[in-house]
Every structure is written in structure tokens, then in C-alpha cells.
Amino acid sequence: MLRYVCGVIFACVPLAAANAASPNFCRNSFKPNEPIELRFIGIEYALMMHVLAEKYCGAEPKPMRPRFLGYIQKQGCLPGTEIYSDVEEAIAKLEGASLRSLAETEVPDLPMSERQVQEWASSATKELGGATH
């Protein structure tokens, strides 16, 4: 009897393994107790550093799409995946954003003076690693 039970269990294991879904690491949302993918954890900060370097620190402008979307593609996340679409959308917003709009995004209900915008940019730049300007 034990042999039959073990035989049934071993016969079902390959079927269960074949139907088990592998985790989709090309997304930003995770279910409770699901492992979190760390490859993309700092990409939002990297995007903001890139934009602040250009708009506040005076760095030479360079296109963000090849750098960031290229990295995501190298990680196996092609166009249409959640992470790719989210980063593509963030790049589109950041490319056209002024320093003022970036600062006011942080404090949406309060219009900021030029001095406050500069203070925000200085503070954010220091927090993200600084700039030489």
C-alpha cells in the first residue's frame, strides 16, 4: 500500500512542477511573502540623479532611454513588461520636466518660489550623492 501511495506522489511531482509558475521578475509589484527582485530597486533614484545632474548640476545632457531601458532589456525584461513600461513612462515625464515641476512634485499642494526650488534641488542632490557645480 505504501508503495502505491509513494508511486502516485512521485508520478504527480513532475506535473505539479510543470504547472508551477516561475516568478516574474520584470514587474514592480509583489504579493505578500513573494521574493522581491533587487535588480531594479534603485532605478528610481538613478533616474532622479541623472535628471538633477543635467538640470541642476550642469552635466552634459545624455539620453536616458538607451542607458536605463537598455539595462532593463539586458536583465531579460523586454518592452511590454511592467518594469520596462514603468521606467519608460518615468523617463518620458522626467525628460520634459523642469526643475520647478520636479520640486513641486515632491510638495504638490504648495507652489514654490525660485529660491525654494533651488533649495530643494540642492538638498536632493546632496542626498543622492552631490554635484560639483
pTM of the model: 0.68
Report the chain's terminal Cα–Cα distance, integer Å: 79
pLDDT value for 90: 92
Kindly list the distances between the CA atom of residue 61 and the CA atoms of 2, 10, 25, 33, in Å, as whole numbers in the listed order: 70, 60, 31, 41
CA distance 89 to 92: 5
Q: Is 91:51 a contact under the CB 8 Å cutoff? A: no
Residue 63, C-alpha cell as written in the block: 539620453
Rounded to whole angstroms, the maximal C-alpha distance in the chain is 82
Q: Where are the domains of the chain?
A: 2-127
Residue 57, C-alpha cell as written in the block: 548640476
Q: Is 14:60 a contact under the CB 8 Å cutoff? A: no
For 12-60, the pLDDT digits (tens) are 555 444 444 445 678 766 677 777 667 788 888 889 889 988 888 888 9
Kindly list the distances between the CA atom of residue 33 and the CA atoms of 30, 43, 124, in Å, as whole numbers in the listed order: 8, 22, 32
Model confidence at 2, pLDDT cuts 50, 70, 90, reads very low
35 closest CA partner among 48, 25, 45, 20: 25
Q: Is 117:103 a contact under the CB 8 Å cutoff? A: yes
